[in-house]
Amino acid sequence: MTARIFALSDGNSFYCSCERVFDPALEGRPVIVLSNNDGCAIARTPEAKALGIQMGDPWFKIRDQATAAGVVARSSNYVLYGDMSRRVNDVYRRYARDVEIYSIDESFLDFTSDADAADRAREMRATVRRWTGIPTCVGLGPTRTLAKVANHLAKKRPELDGVCDLTDPARRDTLLPSVEVADVWGVGRASAAKLRAVGVTTAADLRAMDPRAARALLTVTGERLVLELAGVLCADLELTPPVRKGIAVTRMFGRPITDLDEMLEAVASYVARAGEKLRQHGLASADMTIFFHTAAHAAGPPRSVSGRAALWSPSCDTTTMIAAGTAVVRRLWAPGFRYAKAGVMLDDLVRPGATTGDLLAAADPRRDQLMAALDQVNRRHGRGALVPARAGLAKRWATKADMRSPAYTTRLSETPIARA
């Protein structure tokens, strides 16, 4: 039987790299990308890390110091990052038999049967950089856990030039002792503390544990980690994404909401996005919860409320969902508060038609056609090109994104133009 070879390819400082692709002046400069509402740092280039900027640092606290040090901050632009991720994965599919998209910037690839997987990884890495502008690192191993460890080493050790191959047992014996146990995929902070308490401080120490002892300490997850670090395959690629059990759309407001009409508009906008997500996944829901609340440490009285919407049968129809959601807002609303955040949560997701519908409601096939047309327009012209009237257009409450870059690859009016 042919030995399995997995690759884990990861975009380096992916969000920041996406920004650099379309703004070459950012090369070599410290760059950070901020979370929704320009809240805190969620991506940092090596230059920004060298200045001491930590993941999660609040922008309002570090703004003056970072600006003085020449840091360039960008608001998060998830539409751009998602499209760049798609382009990178299109390249991966040219080099791998199968690809599992693990996150927006990481993918597992099946390199089994490649005569020289490391050479193929180097070629793939060069092609991704040439075709998309995104720098990557690649880790190789006979299990997904070892591929992940190899990727960690590829990022941390410049002498590896972006590719680390742990398919050879002798090379694993050399490199695993240099990896802290906390850096092993699947070992969280609490698990790392338990392992250190019994003298397990490196990936090599964890590999040497009795699998039964690891299971007793860290449940079946610990046992699988020990086996996978030893080269025993316990989990293959997940090529079919699991069916989602829930969907949530929550946002902080760009400024506090004190007006009912604005809250109705905001919640309708979030419900519309939730409905779009349902249709993307071919799902429907009858269990919708709406919530909104004030900020935890803001001036003024605190208030936090939530309520379930009356959907009599599973639906993914935006207009039906908005009607139910705004009814909840009217029921829960109380004036005199400065609301900072709202959201919609959908649970008990099912396939449309998998349950009995509302026997008293007449089916209207035009509703499905309307939703399909809505999604088609927004795919072609960019999200938000066509929205329900209840969701509004001005959106003065919208999440702040004062430093967001253009939608270079998904909106024609913002496409960069090269001039001679």
Q: Are strands 72-75 and 106-110 parallel, antiparallel or unpaired?
A: unpaired
- In the chain, how many domains are there? 3
| 280 & 382 share domain | yes
pLDDT at 114: 63
Residue with the bigger pLDDT between 64 and 353: it is: 64
pLDDT at 84: 95
Residue 236 lies in a domain: yes
Residue 166 has pLDDT above 80, yes or no: yes
The per-residue pLDDT of the chain, averaged, comes to 91
pLDDT at 1: 55
| 128 & 67 share domain | yes
Determine contact, residues 74/35, Cβ cutoff 8 Å: no
| Residue 201, token pair as written in the block | 């401080």
| 172 & 157 share domain | no
- DSSP-based three-state secondary structure for 356: coil
Determine contact, residues 40/34, Cβ cutoff 8 Å: yes
| 265 & 361 share domain | yes
Asked which of 90-94, 162-166, 377-381 is least confident by mean pLDDT, the reply is: 377-381
The mean pLDDT value for 140-148 works out to 96
Residue 316 lies in a domain: yes
pLDDT at 363: 65
Q: Tell me: the pLDDT tens digits for 44-70?
A: 999 999 999 999 999 999 999 999 999
Residue 360 has pLDDT above 60, yes or no: no
pLDDT at 397: 87
pLDDT at 139: 97
Domain CATH number, residue 294? 3.30.1490.100
- CA 106, CA 14: separation in Å to the nearest integer? 9
Q: Tell me: the pLDDT tens digits for 10-24?
A: 999 999 999 999 999
Reported as type and span, the H/E element at residue 31 is strand 31-34
| 233 & 256 share domain | no
- Rounded to two decimals, the pTM is 0.82
Q: Tell me: the pLDDT tens digits for 397-420?
A: 888 888 899 888 877 778 888 776
| 258 & 367 share domain | yes
pLDDT at 181: 96
| 281 & 386 share domain | yes
Q: How far is CA 322 from CA 82, 265, 383, 389, in A?
A: 26, 10, 18, 11
Residue 90 has pLDDT above 70, yes or no: yes
The mean pLDDT value for 315-342 works out to 95
Residue 396 lies in a domain: no
Neighbouring residues of 52: CB distance < 8 A, sequence distance ≥ 6: none
Residue 417 lies in a domain: no
Domain CATH number, residue 94? 3.30.70.270
Q: Which domain holds residue 231?
A: 168-242
**∠ CA(66), CA(397), CA(74), 5° rounding?**
25
Determine contact, residues 290/267, Cβ cutoff 8 Å: yes
Instruction: Read off φ and ψ for residue 261, nearest 5 degrees.
Output: -60, -40
